[in-house]
């Protein structure tokens, strides 16, 4: 089970390249290093199961989570490319894709975001992040967040499955969000829906979550 991860949220201009590289080294290359270690023996034994804790953000990018989403997209692409070869050796790969999870990981991330310096971006972007994104995120976590124990139960079911699924989403509330991309290959439907949700109907969104 690969579960190492770090988060990053905020305006792109306020994040250093070094911090981005460190995040990718943990979230993506950490997984790659693990798989390189365990896969050869699993192939020799012709049996094994690699379970990767991904994220719904590996399927759908979320505003102000550019680099974190990129790392999870990399995880998804890596596993999707590897799974066919692995099946040839009777090795299963499963991606567990949670939405928001109520842990100290997220609490620390948002505490740091509230104290961060946003002078390197324009005032409008800083205002959108602090007064729209952070506020809405708290409501999202309070309304839709899962406990670590819930994610552990989902992961256990994936591990014990007779035919392990390649992808397993833990929160049905996010299924429509992921489906928008497949409904319109041009991306216009998904982009317009999220734009309206963030900038036009944010009050309705908060009321609905509460």
| SS3 of 48-105 | EEEEEECCHHHCCCCCCCHHHHHHHHHHHHHHHHHHHHHHHCCEEEEEEECCCECCHH
Is residue 88 included in any domain, yes or no?
A: yes
Is residue 4 included in any domain, yes or no?
A: no
Give the pLDDT of residue 179.
83
Give the pLDDT of residue 132.
85
Question: What does the alpha-carbon distance between residue 66 and residue 64 come to, in Å, rounded to a whole number?
Answer: 6
CB 127 within 8 A of CB 21: no
CB 42 within 8 A of CB 87: no
Known catalytic residue at 195: no
CB 75 within 8 A of CB 58: yes
Domain range for 55 is 12-206
| More confident call, 107 vs 193 | 193
Question: What does the alpha-carbon distance between residue 204 and residue 52 come to, in Å, rounded to a whole number?
Answer: 35
Is residue 127 included in any domain, yes or no?
A: yes
- pLDDT for 186-206, tens place per residue? 999 889 988 888 888 776 666
The answer, yes or no, to whether residue 209 has pLDDT greater than 70, is no
Give the pLDDT of residue 40.
98
Is residue 165 included in any domain, yes or no?
A: yes
- pLDDT for 126-173, tens place per residue? 999 988 888 888 777 777 888 899 999 999 999 999 999 999 999 988
Could you tell me the CATH number of the domain that includes residue 29?
3.40.50.720
| More confident call, 30 vs 112 | 30
The answer, yes or no, to whether residue 104 has pLDDT greater than 90, is no
- pLDDT for 42-59, tens place per residue? 999 999 999 999 999 999
Mean pLDDT of the chain: 90
Give the pLDDT of residue 143.
77
Is residue 1 included in any domain, yes or no?
A: no
Instruction: Please identify which of the residues 68, 118, 174, 195 carries the catalytic annotation.
Output: 68
The model's confidence at residue 78, banded by pLDDT at 50, 70 and 90, is very high
Is residue 3 included in any domain, yes or no?
A: no
Dihedral sign of CA atoms 15, 19, 24, 26 in order? negative
Name 51's bridge partners: 94
């Amino acid at each position: 089970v690969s579960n190492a991860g770090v988060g990053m949220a905020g305006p792109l201009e306020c994040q250093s390249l070094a911090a981005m590289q460190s995040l990718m080294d943990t979230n993506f290359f950490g997984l790659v290093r693990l798989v390189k270690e365990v896969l050869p023996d699993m192939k020799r034994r012709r049996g094994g199961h690699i379970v990767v804790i991904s994220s719904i953000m590996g399927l759908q990018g979320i505003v102000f989570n550019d680099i974190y989403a990129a790392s999870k997209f990399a995880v998804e692409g890596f596993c999707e490319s590897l799974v066919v070869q692995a099946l040839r050796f009777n090795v299963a790969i499963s991606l567990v894709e949670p939405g928001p999870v109520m842990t100290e990981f997220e609490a620390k991330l948002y505490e740091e975001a509230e104290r961060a310096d946003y002078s390197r971006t324009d005032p409008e972007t800083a205002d959108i992040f602090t007064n729209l994104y952070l506020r809405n995120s708290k409501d999202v976590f309070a309304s839709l967040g899962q406990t670590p124990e819930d994610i552990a139960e989902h992961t256990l079911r994936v591990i014990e499955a007779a035919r392990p699924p390649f992808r397993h989403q833990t929160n049905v509330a996010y299924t429509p969000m992921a489906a928008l991309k497949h409904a319109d290959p041009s991306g216009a439907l998904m982009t317009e829906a999220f734009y309206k949700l963030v900038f036009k109907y944010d009050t309705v969104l908060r009321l609905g979550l509460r």
